[in-house]
Chain A
């Protein structure tokens, strides 16, 4: 691990009118580190994750990716250019997959690389095949999303994000919308990425997965980071009462 953080969230705060959803949160993630953000619904964990690529802009605070401030205050046009560039380095996977239904799997994966990286159709095809192979779905390359199961859709969504060769991957409850028997195949892909030392920030309700894969766990509640530490500490010996209460409900069985 390096000294300089890879993703650096500094004093992040967000409010909707008088409703504060994030209170002065600072979080540093190192290169290759895998961080889980857990907490009850409405705790602000998704909002924090979506602030990292400025999909949900902060009210105040800064987000940095290496030497670049993601949410730099710029005039509209400059900001648009800046953010479109930065977002190419930040892959995101959504709860509801958000695959493009009018495009095949191949089209989903190659659209952004072709438009943004100026690669040829042939190069884009190779890229799509590589990334699909990585998630074990090469034989589905010419299918439409509607012809895939939920787990397959999410694996394609991961391949689509990976095709941009991002520096960090954000997962926003990637398995929450899946039938229980389909969760494992997505978890396996995420584990594999972990083994390849992809930097990942994972908002999840899956405590077992967080415990087995992540280097660090952040517990959020009510817009605050209540507790953070290694999975061992947070899951086995949490300091705070609120963490204990939350885990009692989620770690059964």
Chain B
């Protein structure tokens, strides 16, 4: 049985729709992981111990367990305690929180690297601690850590394939559905891989632009 890519165009619309879902889920989870990462970093560095320690434990759990298991917990587990999330939402939350924890580590390092004089300058002008963190420290820290966060976002795009197992018809599941109808796994997995690759190129180009803009603004 040879390869026959002629079957792919017939399912192209589904692959493209799947790609659109993958892009949407990735962007939503990326936004969640970015702002969540900032929030987590600020909590980890500045919050009182009663908030910081439970939070850190939670972060360790998120880093130390498989993302797939976390998706199962959020989608199937939460139903048992009455939280019934649509699969897409569960997927975005799972991906977003998982990568927020990783982003938080990077942003914490960025915050620590901001010169102490920046904090002092803010406070001497009369800004509160929170205002200084928000307007002076975090913007500088985030600028410094855009490249490593960008790498995380590329990993997030690829890991978004995992949400196929909780039934979100994104790119991976779309190709699997096509395979189940045509029995042509090689062709469709390659087609899906090509789609991921193209999306990744676009994502990298976007990240590059952000990096360049931030470089100028310094």
Could you list which residues of chain A lie within 8 angstroms of chain B, going by C-beta atoms? 53, 55, 80, 84-85, 87-88, 90-92, 94, 96, 98-102, 111-112, 115-116, 144, 146, 160-161, 164
Contact = CB atoms under 8 A, between A and B. Distances in A.
Majority SS at the chain B contact face: helix
Contacts of A91: 124
B208 interface: no
Interface in B112-149: 115, 117-118, 120-129, 131, 135-136, 139-140, 143
A164 B126 CA distance: 9
A55 B125 contact: no
A100 B218 CA distance: 9
B217 interface: yes
9 tightest Cβ-Cβ pairs between the two chains A and B: A98-B121, A88-B126, A112-B125, A98-B117, A92-B124, A87-B126, A84-B126, A102-B139, A102-B140
B140 A161 contact: no
A53 B124 contact: yes
Contacts of A164: 125-126
Q: How large is the interface on B (under 10, 10 to 19, 20 to 34, 35 or more residues)?
A: 20 to 34
B135 to A, nearest CB: 6
B36 to A, nearest CB: 22
B121 A111 contact: no
Interface centre among A80, A98, A164 (most CB of B within 10 A): A98
Contacts, number: 64
A206 B218 CA distance: 32
Given A80-B129, A115-B131, A146-B218, A100 B124 contact: no
26 contacts: A55-B120, A55-B123, A55-B124, A85-B126, A87-B124, A87-B126, A88-B126, A90-B124, A91-B124, A92-B121, A92-B124, A98-B121, A100-B118, A101-B140, A101-B218, A102-B140, A111-B136, A115-B127, A115-B131, A115-B135, A144-B218, A146-B218, A160-B125, A161-B124, A164-B125, A164-B126
B139 to A, nearest CB: 5
A59 to B, nearest CB: 20
B104 to A, nearest CB: 20
Nearest to B142: A102
A144 to B, nearest CB: 6
B43 to A, nearest CB: 18
A139 B121 CA distance: 24
A164 B123 CA distance: 13
A158 B131 CA distance: 21
Contact of A87 (B115, B123, B129, B143): B123
Given A94-B117, A94-B120, A102 B217 contact: yes
Contacts of A112: 122, 125-127
A55 B121 CA distance: 10
A63 to B, nearest CB: 14
Contacts of B140: 100-102
B145 to A, nearest CB: 13
B127 A84 contact: yes
A84 B115 CA distance: 21
B197 to A, nearest CB: 34
